[in-house]
A and B are shown apart, each in its own frame.
Chain A
Amino acid sequence: MTRVDVFEDIFLVFLALGTLVGIIVVSYTLYNAYKYRDTEDRTDDKDLPALGELPTGGGSGKKLFVSFILSAIVVIALIVWTYGMLLYVEDGPDELDEDAIEVDVQGSAFSWSYEYDNGLEPNELVVPADEPVQISVTSTDVWHTFGISQERVKADAIPGEHDETWFIAEDPGEYENAIECFELCGAGHSSMDDDFRVLEDQEAYEEWVDEQFTLDITLEDEDEEPVTEGVDELTLVHQEEEGHEYAYDGDEFENGSITINEIDQGGDYDVEITPEGDEFEPVEESIVFTGPSDETFTLESPEDEEDDEENNEDEGDDETDNDEEGGEN
């Protein structure tokens, strides 16, 4: 059962009963007001208040209590009935514990960012249809509230707090501005929206994930010409998670480039390039790999030291490149 289902069930019952009770009570009120309007021929002078009297209760408390108890039963029954659903919403569906997608959502004035448990950090929220998604929401600055109305999911984004909840999306599609902020957070609050994308199914989602994990690496020399020889090995090692170590031989590169698809954990990687012979200096760098990336490394000749800085600048450019691509895909 999705949260949309839960909401629909409860809301419809509340709405039906609420409307019914509302109509009955309001009609009864207006009916009485009309029926007992003051006309000349009213003779029934029971309980007429008099100026300066000490108050005494007007009779018929019985009717009052019957109505009161009836209304109490309706209200209490309704709420107790919803309690089971609350427990379900709190715990989530059973699949949630096993292999649900987990996303850390972060609000900052005035945008949202997402970090998947596999280290991906795409620019929009992408989930498969019909699969439970676990989210954990926080904020880097002020209080926001993360919510996707169409999925009936919402959680406060409070600095220092991690508010966990879940949802299951059913209808594939791209939804513009479907993610909104529900707590006043400053001048840009009104337009703190984000797009939301639901993919066909798990398979489409995995495809998307694979696509995200595409790392293109290019090796250049100082003249920006592709390096075709003189490289022994390139290794990638995840800085935090163990078991994510990758090595590529010099001859796996084609015209100085290689496209790597096998990585399935995003994050910060140490890159080491070991030269063959003494044409180039070894390279030790670190890259951020949280979405499709294009990295270029310049291999320097041994005597040259000054180009170091330029090198770093290239790096920087590349990283911004990554982010944009992540977004477009």
Chain B
Amino acid sequence: MSDLPPKTSIKRWLVTTNHKDVGTLYLATALFFLVLGGMMALLFRAQLWQSGGTGILSGDGFNQAVTAHGLIMVFWFLSPIASGFANYFVPLQIGAKDLAFPRLNALSYWFYLFSGIMIALSFFQGGTFAGGWTMYAPLNVPTYTPAVEATTGGTITVFALILFVLSITLGTINFLVTIHRSRAEGLGLWNIPLFTWSWLLTVWMMLFAFAALLAALLLLGIDRVMMTQYFATDQGSGLLWAHLFWFFGHPEVYIVFFPALGIMFETFQTFCGRRLVGRKWVIIAMVLVAVQSFLVWMHHMFLTTINLEIKTLIMATTIGISLPFDLMVFALIYTMVKGRVRFTTPFLFSLGALVLFILGGITGVFLGAVVLDYEFRGTYWVVAHFHYVMVSGVTALIAGLYYWWPKISGKMYSEKLGKLNFAVYFFGFNLLYFPMFLAWETPRRVFHFGESMQIYHQMATVGAFVLATSFAIMFITFGHSYLYGPKAPDNPWKYSRTAEWAIPSPPPLDNWSGRPSYASGQLEFVDDAAKATDGGVATETPAAQQEEEHADHASIWPFGIGLGTFVTFIGISGLTPYVYDFMESAVEAGNAEIANGLPAGPDAEPNIMFPILTVIGLMILTYTLFKFGVEEFNAPEMAIAERWPFGGIDNTKMGVWVFLASDVVVFGAAIGAYVFMRIHMGWTEWETIPFASWPGLLNTYILLTSSFTVILALVMAERQNKKGLLATLGATMLLGFAFMGVKAYEYSVKFGDGDYWFSGLEYSLYYVTTGLHALHVILGLIVAGFMIYRVLSIDAYLEDHRPVEYFGLYWHFVDIVWVFLFPLFYLV
């Protein structure tokens, strides 16, 4: 399976796991979504030409366009295009051959692509989600009012987002392990290039922020499909969503901006011919921002009922977080001083990005002052502010496109066209977004505004079309270069310093011929084999060298898993009408009670296609996951690498730890939701849902025992005792099944009493939180079953017992979560 087909064959792109291929796929797909999101914007800008709308969109159509624009731009364009650059260049910049888990990397891409297809499909299932990219509750669920109709398309949007977040999570784990553990010899963390630094911090932020979003989306998806009530009540639902969303949402704005910032640092250094001023301080500033980004989310909620003390605190942290940006801006400016500034296209875009960012940052300070925010909240001021900052990021990302285009394509582009592109872009940008400051009294997401505002909105609309033209010029420039451009040298930029410029354009599949090393303080390619035959010191390296020759690059299963998940998710999204019918008939027959009465139903009738898709999807998923699991795929760890601070563990173990860290946040958010809702309701007013505490207690004993059997399994594997390993794994599974059995009994007793997950908020919290945990147990059981199969079929884990250890980590984690859930739901 090792050889990759040539780039001209479609098969190549379906099976590739190579980081540069995946990077290219990311870049191309992201640009496609840029066009799609742009179309949405042109559509509603046309509607905004006159107050009351030009009539090309209905009220709901307008909301759909605005919402889809926001979601697509933030999730399907901005983050992925940065992922594309990171996939392509982070391994090159740190001297790695590939990411730590190449197949997972391909899987992230397929999840991303399929999630994008899902949101495109959502338009055709009763309309896509129309509640804004912030998806405020209770507009985001079928409520107890006629204000919303829960379309299947809306639910597909939510599941598209879930799939997207899964893609992000996989990518995050992959990059964290790669950057921490695959750096070339001599390349300490301090010394990695700034683009890689910015990406490292981005993925750290992503790990926690997207986990919170995942939890929020899971609850939302369950609300929409199973008719639970997390976001449907007037008992704190609105605020709960706002907290969960913005806990993710604020870090997200830095997540999309940091990679752009990294590109600005790189391009400023290169095109100013000067090392970045205050490099260490810049890195420290970025670290500070990354940490603080989790402490400011409530500045999006100043107008809600949060109290003055909290507002004050958040105002302070918000101002605090803007200061490190000052430092970064000044560092960029001073880097030009005494430099040799060359106005190439990438530099023009970077410089433009800096100017726009300064303006956006200044207007952000206005919003940080709570009194002013009271007036600006929900208006075009906010729209103008965040476009100045976010699209400043886009500007820098375009700089990145021009900067790295010669490396990726092997062709030079026309500077003339590039400069024209910049001129039109910069003019269009300001014509589009600056009038929004002047029209600031207009509420967001409306097309009714005062007469006096109309002129500004018309300017903005013209600007939007100019900006769109500039993107057309960009595509033409790249197309022209690809067809007619002169061949690019290895390093077309004077004064660039990062390693990607030291190899051919485009780079060979294996990146390097020798082993990159900075041991001498300067990039060198070491020929380990030659050294060894010379009688060199390194004794383990020849073996490593040999191993690397076996590195595999092709696997179709990531694509298959992506497809299976896609089909499954589409299927699940259309199940709401069935659940609703069940609920309706249960209520009518007197078998179920609902606290607030029967909610408004979904928009669609039951359609047998959806259950069928769910089943087909699950079948594809089972098959492809199994094939993925048994496939021989060798992605060797670098024998010699800088690994601080994770030198003590291997790649997979670090991956598992990182994954568990994100899962802690997912459960944290779910448990947080419980605590929040319960406090909102009055802690003691809560009635305990389980019919008795003994099933919980029993299950606690069962799980703790199973933790013990997993430890024994590891001991057996270490002793190479096959029978013992089978017995202990089998016992673990049995205990897992016992746990699920008790759970099923407990649920069925509740159902018998007429208490379902849709019966009321407390019931939703109970069923969903314990259900989420049960889902983890089930996933654990599936893995355990697979492991037993592997032991039986190929005597697995007797030589290398580490997978048993990793499984144990996961299993212990699931047990620990239960130790928290038990008292919360059964005792207090």
Q: Taking A10-B371, A64-B330, A78-B369 as contacts, is the C-beta distance between A48 and B274 under 8 angstroms?
A: yes
- Please indicate the chain A residues that have their CB under 8 angstroms from the CB of B276 in the complex: 55, 57-58
Number of A residues with CB within 8 Å of any CB on chain B: 88
Q: Taking A29-B358, A48-B495, A52-B497 as contacts, is the C-beta distance between A141 and B147 under 8 angstroms?
A: yes
Sampled A-B contacts (8; CB under 8 Å): A25-B329, A29-B333, A36-B337, A37-B340, A54-B521, A57-B279, A58-B278, A64-B330
How far in angstroms is the closest Cβ of chain B from A182?
3
- Please indicate the chain A residues that have their CB under 8 angstroms from the CB of B333 in the complex: 25, 28-29, 32
Complex Cα spacing A180 to B144, Å: 24
- Please indicate the chain A residues that have their CB under 8 angstroms from the CB of B148 in the complex: 142, 186
Interface residues of chain B, those whose CB is within 8 Å of chain A, are 53, 58-60, 62-63, 66, 130-132, 136-139, 143-148, 186-187, 191, 193-194, 233-239, 269-270, 272-281, 303-305, 308, 311-312, 315, 319, 322-323, 326-327, 329-331, 333-343, 351, 354-355, 358-359, 362-363, 365-366, 368-372, 374-375, 377-379, 441, 443-448, 450, 491, 495-497, 499, 501-502, 518, 521-524
Given contact pairs A32-B333, A67-B330, enumerate 14 new A-B contacts (beta carbons under 8 Å).
A11-B372, A48-B273, A52-B523, A53-B497, A58-B277, A58-B278, A60-B278, A143-B138, A154-B378, A158-B305, A160-B234, A180-B446, A184-B444, A186-B131
Complex Cα spacing A265 to B276, Å: 72
Residue on A with the closest CB to B331? A64
- Please indicate the chain B residues that have their CB under 8 angstroms from the CB of A49 in the complex: 269-270, 273-275, 495-497
> Are A36 and B334 in touch, CB under 8 angstroms?
no
Residue on A with the closest CB to B271? A38
Q: A61 an interface residue at 8 Å Cβ cutoff? A: yes
Residue on B with the closest CB to A59? B277
Q: A239 an interface residue at 8 Å Cβ cutoff? A: no
Q: Which of B238, B272, B280, B496 contacts A159 (CB 8 A)?
A: B238
Complex Cα spacing A202 to B800, Å: 86
Complex Cα spacing A7 to B326, Å: 26
> Are A85 and B375 in touch, CB under 8 angstroms?
no
How far in angstroms is the closest Cβ of chain B from A45?
9
- Please indicate the chain A residues that have their CB under 8 angstroms from the CB of B143 in the complex: 141-142
Q: Which of A85, A154, A160 contacts B236 (CB 8 A)?
A: A160
Q: Taking A158-B305, A189-B59 as contacts, is the C-beta distance between A32 and B238 under 8 angstroms?
A: no
> Are B238 and A190 in touch, CB under 8 angstroms?
no
Report A23-61 residues with CB < 8 Å from chain B CB: 25-26, 28-30, 32-34, 36-38, 42, 44, 46-61
Complex Cα spacing A85 to B657, Å: 48
- Please indicate the chain B residues that have their CB under 8 angstroms from the CB of A83 in the complex: 312, 315
> Are A158 and B277 in touch, CB under 8 angstroms?
no
Complex Cα spacing A37 to B280, Å: 26
> Are B372 and A181 in touch, CB under 8 angstroms?
no
- Please indicate the chain A residues that have their CB under 8 angstroms from the CB of B303 in the complex: 145, 154-156, 163
Q: Taking A79-B368, A86-B371, A186-B63 as contacts, is the C-beta distance between A54 and B518 under 8 angstroms?
A: yes
How far in angstroms is the closest Cβ of chain A from B93?
11
Q: Taking A14-B372, A58-B335 as contacts, is the C-beta distance between A187 and B443 under 8 angstroms?
A: no
> Are B341 and A180 in touch, CB under 8 angstroms?
no
- Please indicate the chain A residues that have their CB under 8 angstroms from the CB of B495 in the complex: 48-50
How far in angstroms is the closest Cβ of chain A from B585?
26
- Please indicate the chain A residues that have their CB under 8 angstroms from the CB of B308 in the complex: 86-87, 90
Complex Cα spacing A83 to B378, Å: 21
Complex Cα spacing A64 to B496, Å: 23
> Are B145 and A141 in touch, CB under 8 angstroms?
yes
Complex Cα spacing A263 to B511, Å: 88
Report A172-213 residues with CB < 8 Å from chain B CB: 177, 180-191, 193
Complex Cα spacing A255 to B146, Å: 47
Residue on A with the closest CB to B237? A159
Q: Which of A10, A22, A191 contacts B362 (CB 8 A)?
A: A22
Q: A132 an interface residue at 8 Å Cβ cutoff? A: no
Interface centre among B60, B319, B338 (most CB of A within 10 A): B338
> Are B378 and A182 in touch, CB under 8 angstroms?
yes
> Are B145 and A140 in touch, CB under 8 angstroms?
yes
Residues 104-137 of chain A, each 1 if its beta carbon lies under 8 Å from chain B, else 0: 0000110000000000000000000000000000
> Are A75 and B322 in touch, CB under 8 angstroms?
yes
